[in-house]
Amino acid sequence: MSTLIARNLTYSYSKKGQPVLNKVSVDIKPGTLTALVGPNGAGKSTLLRLMKGQTLPDKGEITIDGEIMDKSNCQVALMPQRSSMNWKFPITVENLVSLGKIKKTKSRTSLPFQIKDLLSRPNTWVNKCCEIEASMQRVGIASLAKRRLDSLSGGQQQRALLAKTLISSAKIFLLDEPCSALDPPARNDFLKIVRQIADSGLSVFISSHDWGSSLNAYDEVVVLDKKILASGAPNVIQERLDDICCLKDKNLCDCP
Ligand SMILES: Nc1ncnc2c1ncn2[C@@H]1O[C@H](COP(=O)(O)OP(=O)(O)O)[C@@H](O)[C@H]1O
Ligand SMILES: [Mg+2]
């Protein structure tokens, strides 16, 4: 199990621009389900990209189990924001999930899935198929394996994307607003699944617009608006609503 520690991350998109993240520190412990909440433009997606290693911070550092994280790390997986996906792409659920096994390689000659390798060692192929099946079962979509992505409901699509993310060898999962387009029942189903994943010892860090009693679904809550405004257990955050209700004006929440 892995612990990710981000310390004093500062990041600007341009040299002369104001930082969109200012001295942000976050700890992600094994087996925890954490909500990252903040208004639009608070820097949530930027922070997730930094924690995945896709973007380097201007200042600050990220360690995983005490080692400085580099771009090639495979301990962290990022499930992108729904709006960044082309949901009309003609692909079945099982093929989408299998894409999560493709290893990034610099070699131009390597084919997806290392096909040559798989054909020469049939057991490897069988193992991959079992992993795909297991990942779909884990999020309750095995019966949808042959369905096209564009024939699914929003909640089923998000679970398919989660299965693709989970099939990696990562221990820390960063999910960017996975529940943003889901109705309350689909949101609850999704949160039950990620709770089981966290209870199995993995870490799940979710950017979200949840607020008020919805935060009770999480172990920890981090409130971000370019800098960290508060962090702690949901009840601690709820007690501090008055301090952080400056966010109310920004439609983060329906706090009293
Ligand atoms: N690629 C980019 N280039 C320039 N500015 C960006 C880029 N992506 C995001 N921003 C800006 O950075 C800030 C934080 O954005 P983002 O991380 O997407 O916030 P959130 O996910 O909380 O809505 C916003 O002001 C946004 O306009
Ligand atoms: Mg975002």
- Is it the case that residue 4 has pLDDT exceeding 90? yes
pLDDT in tens, 74-97: 899 999 999 999 999 999 999 999
- Structure-derived torsion over alpha carbons of residues 116, 108, 77, 6, reported in degrees to the nearest 10: 140
- Per-residue pLDDT of 215-255, as tens digits, reads 999 999 999 999 999 999 999 998 876 677 655 555 554 44
Which ligand 1 atom lies nearest to the CA of residue 224? 22
Alpha-carbon distance of 187 to 108, in angstroms, equals: 40
Note residues around ion ligand 2 (Cβ under 5 angstroms). Answer: 44-45
* pLDDT recorded at residue 171: 94
Q: Determine the distance separating the centroid of ligand 1 and the alpha carbon of 254, expressed in angstroms.
A: 23
- Domain extents for the chain? 4-250
Q: Which atom of ligand 1 is nearest to the CA of 176?
A: 21
Look at residue 125 in the predicted model and tell me its pLDDT.
64
CATH class for the domain made up of 4-250: alpha beta
Q: What is the pLDDT of residue 2?
A: 86
| Of 9, 11, 13, best ligand 1 pocket probe by most atoms within 8 Å of the beta carbon | 13
Dig out the tokens for 75 from the structure.
């301990």
Among 209, 218, 210, smallest CA distance to 236 is for 218
Which amino acids bring their CB within 6 angstroms of ligand 1?
13, 20, 38, 40-46
Checking if the pLDDT of 41 tops 50, the result is yes
C-alpha radius of gyration, the chain, whole number:
19
In the prediction, which pLDDT does 55 show? 92
Which tens digit of pLDDT belongs to each residue from 169-197? 899 999 999 998 899 999 999 999 999 99
Residue 128: half-sphere exposure toward Cβ, Cα within 13 Å: 21
* pLDDT at residue 71, rounded to an integer: 75
